[in-house]
Structure 1
């Protein structure tokens, strides 16, 4: 299996985040990628394909903000990483706001995702990794892996959060569509619901989104991922959410994944994007499922048995010491 990662993805390294009422060390560290690389034997450096595929998913004003926001934060005399503290909870309007504080609230949805001077460089490189994996599959590879860091599935077309700035799974899916694949499916098996991915394809019928995740009644991101969210307009029925309770082990997770794979099979995709998060592991510090390292190979074999060309995009997983083994186990199943 071909694997892709750019060293530029290590540059993004916020100092801290707001978590459970206090500031703590940022969990989505460069060490996550480094331990994965050691476990999987390294990866190819992707070529830079520019911004066109990114702009096919994200709005121009949002991308401009990601590039320019940190410098504007520093110019305003603010120390540290750029972080929001006020958000429009209803009726988001397209206002032209000059103050950086208002812009951060406009383009983000939480306080756990600081913006640094290196965030755009790393997020852009992460998108290049998933594009390289996508084109490898489009060119005939059975499966390819993109070590996406920062991850992507919480980022919407015009907002960031949940450690995510550019939605790599959505970028992969849209790139496949633009390359002529008529129907693309996304299977999200991260502990947290991929709210950004759901939002991007919410009213579209050409991309099917299925997610298995912790019940948002108890877990982040809370406001998305409930079982009754199924899409709208042309996308009605093209979203499938399968929330599970905290403490879920392999058996219920596998049953949910089988349900998702059956729905994807009915959709009959030309290509599958797998958003994989190893934060479903039994001892992840910020999640509460109970999958073991060996379980990931089981889940991957079930996916691979369906026979769809597959792009695997890395999402979460914060138990750094075990992360490499967990990712290697998943890839072994493909």
Structure 2
């Protein structure tokens, strides 16, 4: 399988985040990619490619122009105020506050565009996020050019980023950009399956009113799990998109039996949709050793996931999302990709 990867990811090293009320070192760190790369290179079956360049305007198919300008200029504006280190917001436009104006100052703008205080911006964040988006778009291009599948080793991840907000370690929605790239290349119906432990709230918002992209997410229930305010089963889309969002929330402690049942439901929906291509938001934080998640998938279950994804028989773009058990992330990703490749070759 082709693997698209950029070393620019390492420029985004956030330092600290606010996690469940405590200031802690960032779980989303450069070492995640290092361990994935080591495991995939050890497997020896992949072709490594750099991302292609794409015009900045391609991002505007998914994201708001003002939001992109904020991300592009945020850290220089921060530095212009004599600050350094990590940027974290301290105020948000919650209920009862105005949401129709972007404050001119960097601190207010940060809170306007962010939805949590767990996603720091540092000097290399924009370059890393843009390269990550280019990885996903390149993987989509490879698939439209005839590859059965391609894997985008994206960091930072993307599925929490909405059209005009960032959070959950995500700045640009890599999976959504991949799906849009497939649509632009002529794939009439694209299924986007999010298997990360956390709900892909940004992806849902982006495709909420569209019927050409089916969004499905299997995730920890928002009753107790981040991002808390989206991901319930009664969220089904709106307008033309009504019925094209499928949320499959599961309780903390769900094991492979419960997870695989939800996966079967997702596969049936993708088949009924008659998808022409598949994008997978591949989070492996469903692993029972993950420090910020609470499913109970073990190492032997990730090859089963890869086989189930391959069994859909669709041109597939796999986009890396979460996974924070750093020393095991490489094994789990390699297991998914290896089983996918093996199922395709059989």
TM-score by length of 2: 0.94
Deviation, structure 1 residue 80: 2.1
Match of 1:259 in 2: 265
Match of 1:47 in 2: 52
Q: Which runs of 4+ in 1 moved over 4 A?
A: none
Q: Which consecutive unaligned segments of at least 5 residues does structure 2 have? A: 341-346
Check whether the contact 1:53–1:174 (CA below 8 A) recurs between aligned residues: no
Matched, 1:241 2:243: no
Distance 1:328 1:92, change over 3 A: farther
Q: In structure 2, which of residues 298, 303, 309 is the aligned counterpart of residue 297 of structure 1?
A: 303
Give the match's secondary structure for 2:318. strand
Match of 2:67 in 1: 62
Q: In structure 2, which of residues 209, 212, 215 is the aligned counterpart of residue 206 of structure 1?
A: 212
Q: Aligned partners of 1:30 and 1:303: how far apart in 2?
A: 27
Match of 1:16 in 2: 16
Q: Aligned partners of 2:137 and 2:127: how far apart in 1?
A: 15
Matched, 1:83 2:88: yes
Match of 2:79 in 1: 74
Matched, 1:143 2:149: yes
CA RMSD of aligned residues (A): 1.1
Q: Deviations over 1:17-54 (max 9, x none)?
A: 11122211111111000110010017321221232322
Deviation, structure 1 residue 95: 1.3
Q: In structure 2, which of residues 186, 205, 215 is the aligned counterpart of residue 180 of structure 1?
A: 186
Check whether the contact 1:123–1:150 (CA below 8 A) recurs between aligned residues: yes
Distance 1:172 1:92, change over 3 A: farther
- 193-202 vs 246-255, which deviates more? 246-255
Q: Which consecutive unaligned segments of at least 5 residues does structure 1 have? A: none
Q: Aligned partners of 2:246 and 2:230: how far apart in 1?
A: 12
Give the match's secondary structure for 2:169. coil
Q: Aligned partners of 2:284 and 2:182: how far apart in 1?
A: 25
Match of 2:129 in 1: 123
Q: Aligned partners of 1:119 and 1:141: how far apart in 2?
A: 30
Check whether the contact 1:6–1:129 (CA below 8 A) recurs between aligned residues: yes
Q: Aligned partners of 2:116 and 2:83: how far apart in 1?
A: 19
- 288-297 vs 226-235, which deviates more? 288-297
Q: Aligned partners of 1:314 and 1:53: how far apart in 2?
A: 20
Give the match's secondary structure for 2:18. strand
Q: Aligned partners of 2:139 and 2:185: how far apart in 1?
A: 14
Check whether the contact 1:70–1:81 (CA below 8 A) recurs between aligned residues: no
Match of 2:313 in 1: 307
Q: Aligned partners of 1:213 and 1:254: how far apart in 2?
A: 12
Deviation, structure 1 residue 253: 0.5
